[in-house]
Amino acid sequence: MSSGVLTGSRDPLPTPAGASPPERRGAADSSASWRLTDRIGLGFAWFLGLLFCAITLAIVAFLAVQGIRYLRPELLWTNPQVGFNQNETGGFLDPIIGTFLVAGIAIGIAGPVGVGVAVWLSEYGRPTALARVVESTVEMLAGAPSVVLALFGILLFDSKVLGFLSETTSDGVVFGKSFFAAGAMLSLVALPLVVSTVREGLQAIPNHVREASYAVGKSKTATIRRVLLPAARPSVITGHMLGIGHVIGDTAIIVLLLGDTQTLQGVGNVPLWGILRGTGSTLTSYVFDNAPTGDLNQPNKAYAAAFVLLVIILILNVLVDVFGRRSRELRWS
Amino acid sequence: MDEEFLEDEDTGLSQDQRAELGLGALVCLVVLVLLAMLAFIFQEAWASFSHNGLHWFGPGGNADQQIQAIFTSGDLKQTPKFLLHAWPMIWSTILTTVGSVVISFVCSLFVAVFLVEFAPGWLKRILEPVVRLLASVPSVIYGLIGVLVLVPFIGNHLVSEKAQASVTPVISLNGYSLLAALVILSVMISPIMIAIFSEGLRSVPRGWLEGSLALGVNRWRTFWNIAVRTARPALIAGTVLATARALGESVMLSMVGGSTAFAPNPADGLIFFVEPSRGLAATILHNTDELNSPPMRHTLFAIAAVLLFSSAALSLAGWAAKQPMKRYFNVGGTAA
């Protein structure tokens, strides 16, 4: 951009005769003159790159074929039932609803908290020791296995204090498994993604933007709220999408903390609150249970649900792509 | 004058200071949650470690029978048992993690180099979204494909009846195997590596490469000697992240790896690759229904503590390894 401004009115510098423009690759660049080992290496790189595409294509195509073969429209609006064969066991409406509920709770917690942490890390970061601790905390959360997070959730939500978030029997035993429990733990899965994406977006904003805002008399809070966060909106959205993608794809926390009942089992009479306190399943746990290694073993249903799950993930990917491109188009200088 | 500069009459703090304090409190809360997790898990795990001592990590006896005994001892009104020698599960985790990380490190490095420097434009435009898509496919889908495609294939075509007969009383070779786990885990973690590697490779200053090219070094050598060497912090960051993923993978491994706590023995020859095993994370998932038995609960939390400790040690090791390289040029060093 800056070079364009400088040379915009002038003609480009004349290139010396015989020199090729830098974009075009000369004969010396072709691999024909390389040593054999180098050419073998390049061939190997080509092979692996194409293999990678082939594996992805195979996975998507295989799931699409199997999914379309076994996916009946009525599966999308009927609920899982107990039956003797795969024609009688119903569809997976409740797992789909469960997937969205869990994703909503998790990103509802991880979104604001993650943006807050990212703003603090990028704009305040004092005292420095605390900033280092926070950075390693986020890094450790990113590396913590989700089964371990799930076990922590079991400890946490078994306690009497948090009993109001899950089913409690009449003699005071807390069940500890609910949408709240699963969503809260899944927010820890999404948090590192939101933090790192938003922080990157904030750091990409050059300092003179902040200085310009201070120069017109805005306070730091106002600068963050009115200037920096709007400017970083594409990365905020990308971070949320990435977080949702991971939350939807997680299985271990769902299996351990959502109770693993096939349908939504609400607790109490309050409409939405009761469902959120109750147990249920999501698409991932539905696939897990219906795989040959699971409790139910209905591969056709598993294929159909996996296909639906993959379509949701694909849509999220496209959205990430769109907003990612938008944040790259924003250039400062 | 903006309202933000007005001071609160009660506290004497400006809105700016209050915002900083509020965000600081939020950040401390996140740190506290992690500390609480560490404290709770290690406290719950202590009973199992203190009963077994260092033998917890050693071999000895049948781990599955030990886990069964631990579970039943909590059910009846007998003294709780804690005897567990978890080596088969630890060995399985080591094998799957190290194996898949080595495989996918080599492959990802080549693919990342190819993607950044050598691929033609049209292939770049295909490869980039492909990497992102593969990174976001849920592990349960990988597991499903593994259990319905790869496992039957291995069971029917790669395991001879003679091989099966040779190990019959101990384990059954039915396709749930180390090989299936390694293949799928490698496919799962390599997109993470490729994404971070190529980000690091891209940020190497162009002039450095051109300096080498101007000396007559060909593009392939230039890229490996200059760009890959410069991007070493990014290579470490990607490897650490991918290793953490492999270490903590439970769902896919419990689906394709088999469900016996058997330690695959390299001395068995090629059968080694088709022997079943069950890693630490998969063991937790496998036994979640038994958490209500107190000794079982302590044992599972002990396994979780080992996993948590390993992943913390891993990121610490990655941080330490990056330090001497950062002095010169830091690419992708902050990628979390």
State the smallest CA–CA distance between residue A188 and chain B in angstroms.
9
Query: What average pLDDT score do residues B57-85 get?
Result: 81
Contact A147 B285 (CB under 8 A): yes
User: Confidence band (pLDDT; 50, 70, 90) for B6?
Assistant: low
Contact A62 B149 (CB under 8 A): yes
| B window 53-92, beta carbon within 8 A of A | none
Q: Which residues contact A328 (CB under 8 A, 6 or more apart)?
A: none
| Best of A135, A148, A194 to mutate (most B CBs within 10 Å, chain B) | A148
Peptide bond into B205 cis (omega under 30): no
| A window 223-282, beta carbon within 8 A of B | 224, 242, 245-246, 248-252, 255-256
Half-sphere exposure of A241 (CA within 13 A, CB side): 21
Contact A288 B14 (CB under 8 A): no
Residues of B in contact with A245 (CB under 8 A): 136
A324 compared with B55, residue with greater pLDDT: B55
CA distance A66 to A302: 10
Residues of A in contact with B140 (CB under 8 A): 249, 251, 284, 287-288, 291, 306, 309
Angle at the Cα of A19 (from A16 to A21), degrees rounded to 5? 105
Contact B110 A44 (CB under 8 A): yes
Contact A258, A279 (CB under 8 A): yes
pLDDT of residue B305: 93
Contact A321 B281 (CB under 8 A): no
Hey, what are B217's tokens?
């070094």
Contact A219, B4 (CB under 8 A): yes
CA distance B243 to B260: 23
- Tell which residue, B27, B320, B323, has the closest CA to residue A134: B27
Least confident of A85-89, B137-141, B229-233: A85-89
Alpha carbon of residue B223 to chain centroid: 29
Contact B335 A146 (CB under 8 A): no
User: Confidence band (pLDDT; 50, 70, 90) for B327?
Assistant: low
CA distance A187 to A244: 9
CA distance B143 to B54: 33
CA distance A263 to B194: 39
Q: What percent of chain B has pLDDT over 70?
A: 92
Angle at the Cα of A252 (from A251 to A255), degrees rounded to 5? 85
CA distance B213 to B293: 66
H helix intervals, chain B: 15-52, 63-75, 87-113, 121-136, 139-145, 151-153, 161-166, 178-202, 206-214, 219-222, 229-230, 232-248, 251-256, 280-286, 294-326
pLDDT of residue B329: 60
Most confident of A125-139, B95-109, B208-222: B95-109
State the smallest CA–CA distance between residue A38 and chain B in angstroms.
7
CA distance A289 to A302: 8
- Tell which residue, A258, A280, A288, has the closest CA to residue A186: A258
Residues of A in contact with B1 (CB under 8 A): 217
Tell me which residue has tokens 């003294």.
Answer: B79
Contact B259 A250 (CB under 8 A): no
pLDDT of residue A2: 39
pLDDT of residue B97 exceeding 80: yes
Q: Is A40 left (phi over 0), alpha (psi -120 to 50) or beta?
A: alpha
pLDDT of residue A72 exceeding 90: no
First-last CA distance in chain B: 40
| Best of A70, A92, A120 to mutate (most B CBs within 10 Å, chain B) | A120
Angle at the Cα of A307 (from B123 to A110), degrees rounded to 5? 85
CA distance B125 to B131: 11
pLDDT of residue B243 exceeding 90: yes
Question: Which residues make beta-bridge pairs with B14?
Answer: B7
DSSP B81: P
Q: Which residues contact B74 (CB under 8 A, 6 or more apart)?
A: B80, B292, B293, B294, B295, B296, B297
Contact A288 B143 (CB under 8 A): yes
| Best of A70, A117, A139 to mutate (most B CBs within 10 Å, chain B) | A139
Tell me which residue has tokens 């998969």.
Answer: B282
Of A141, A249, A293, the CB nearest to B147: A293
- Tell which residue, B257, B296, B318, has the closest CA to residue B89: B257
- Does residue B82 sit in helix, strand or coil? coil
Query: What average pLDDT score do residues B65-87 get?
Result: 81
- Tell which residue, B227, B158, B308, has the closest CA to residue A141: B308
Residues of B in contact with A45 (CB under 8 A): 110-111, 113-114, 118
Exposure string of B149-186, with b = 16+ CB inside 10 Å and e = fewer, is ebbeebbeebbeeebbeebeeebebbbbbbbbbbbbbb
Tell me which residue has tokens 């830091």.
Answer: B330
pLDDT digits (tens, 9 = 90+) for A144-181: 999 999 999 988 888 777 777 777 776 767 777 888 88
CA distance A142 to A136: 10
User: Confidence band (pLDDT; 50, 70, 90) for A29?
Assistant: low
Residues of A in contact with B250 (CB under 8 A): 145-147, 252
B25 touches chain A (CB under 8 A): no
Contact A45 B113 (CB under 8 A): yes
Contact A260, A154 (CB under 8 A): no
| A window 208-227, beta carbon within 8 A of B | 217-222, 224
Distance (Å) of CA B56 to CA A309, B66, B247 = 39, 11, 19
pLDDT digits (tens, 9 = 90+) for B173-192: 778 888 899 999 999 999 99
CA distance B91 to A331: 50
User: Confidence band (pLDDT; 50, 70, 90) for A8?
Assistant: very low
B13 touches chain A (CB under 8 A): no
| Best of B30, B185, B206 to mutate (most A CBs within 10 Å, chain A) | B30
pLDDT of residue A19 exceeding 60: no
H helix intervals, B203-293: 206-214, 219-222, 229-230, 232-248, 251-256, 280-286
Average pLDDT score, chain B:
85
Most confident of A44-48, A90-94, B286-290: A44-48
Residues of A in contact with B284 (CB under 8 A): 147-148, 151
Contact B130 A302 (CB under 8 A): no
Hey, what are B131's tokens?
């990497």
pLDDT of residue A319 exceeding 90: no
pLDDT of residue A18 exceeding 50: no
Chain A residue with minimum CA distance to B302:
A148
pLDDT of residue B8: 52
Q: What percent of chain A has pLDDT over 90?
A: 29
Distance (Å) of CA B302 to CA A242, B291, B305 = 31, 12, 5
Tell me which residue has tokens 């147990």.
Answer: A279
pLDDT digits (tens, 9 = 90+) for A190-234: 999 999 999 989 998 899 999 999 999 988 889 999 999 998 888
Most confident of A27-31, A328-332, B176-180: B176-180
User: Confidence band (pLDDT; 50, 70, 90) for B334?
Assistant: very low
Q: With helix as H, strand as E and coil as C, how does chain A read? A: CHHHHHHCCCCCCCCCCCCCCCCCCCHHHCHHHCCHHHHHHHHHHHHHHHHHHHHHHHHHHHHHHHHHHHCCHHHHCCCCCCCCCCCCCCCCHHHHHHHHHHHHHHHHHHHHHHHHHHHHHHHHCCCHHHHHHHHHHHHHHHHCCHHHHHHHHHHHHCCCCCHHHCCECCCCCECCCCHHHHHHHHHHHHHHHHHHHHHHHHHCCCHHHHHHHHHCCCCHHHHHHHHHHHHCHHHHHHHHHHHHHHHHHCCHHHHHHCECCCCCECCCCCHHHHHHHCEECCHHHHHHHHCCCCCCCCHHHHHHHHHHHHHHHHHHHHHHHHHHHHHHHCCCC
Contact A28, B94 (CB under 8 A): no
Contact A124 B23 (CB under 8 A): yes
pLDDT digits (tens, 9 = 90+) for A232-283: 888 899 899 989 999 998 988 998 888 777 777 777 777 777 778 888 888 8
* Residue A259 phi, psi (nearest 5): 85, -20
